[in-house]
């Protein structure tokens, strides 16, 4: 890893809320399900949903930069257009939740965005 890379999250499933039972609950990696204990997404607050979206976008950015394997194919593939889109979307969502988030988690989100951007520059120039 370079000086800017921090270990990517182990996968988007770590912070992912469970899906509704009828949305598929096989619990297989990459299946989009969190197991038998599904929680309808409509039951989550907007703040919780946006936090989930941020974690998904960060995971897609890491994947697009070729730093983690795709959960669907288990292959590491670089797609900088996808990474750029995920990073830009992360920044846009962060702008929306920034004033509604406590200082410590907000700082973590901002640091992650900075790390994603630094890694993107490094991967796109190297």
Q: pLDDT digits over 72-82, tens only?
A: 999 999 999 99
pLDDT tens-digit readout, 77-100: 999 999 999 999 999 999 999 999
C-beta of residue 12 within 8 angstroms of C-beta of residue 30: no
What residue spans of 39-102 are helical by DSSP H? 46-64, 80-97
How far is the CA of 63 from the CAs of 1, 10, 42, 82, in angstroms? 15, 11, 27, 9
At 118 the pLDDT is 98
Average pLDDT over residues 31-40: 60
């Amino acid at each position: 890893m370079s000086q800017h890379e921090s270990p990517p999250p182990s996968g988007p499933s770590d912070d992912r809320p469970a899906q509704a039972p009828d949305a598929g609950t096989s619990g297989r990696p990459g299946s989009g399900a969190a197991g038998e204990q599904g929680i309808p997404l409509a039951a989550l607050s907007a703040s919780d949903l946006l936090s989930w979206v941020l974690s998904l976008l960060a995971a897609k950015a890491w994947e697009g930069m070729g730093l983690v394997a795709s959960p669907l194919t288990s292959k590491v593939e670089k797609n900088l257009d996808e990474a750029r889109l995920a990073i830009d979307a992360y920044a846009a969502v962060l702008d929306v939740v920034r004033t509604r988030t406590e200082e410590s988690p907000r700082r973590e989100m901002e640091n992650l965005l900075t790390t994603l951007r630094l890694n993107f520059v490094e991967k796109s120039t190297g």
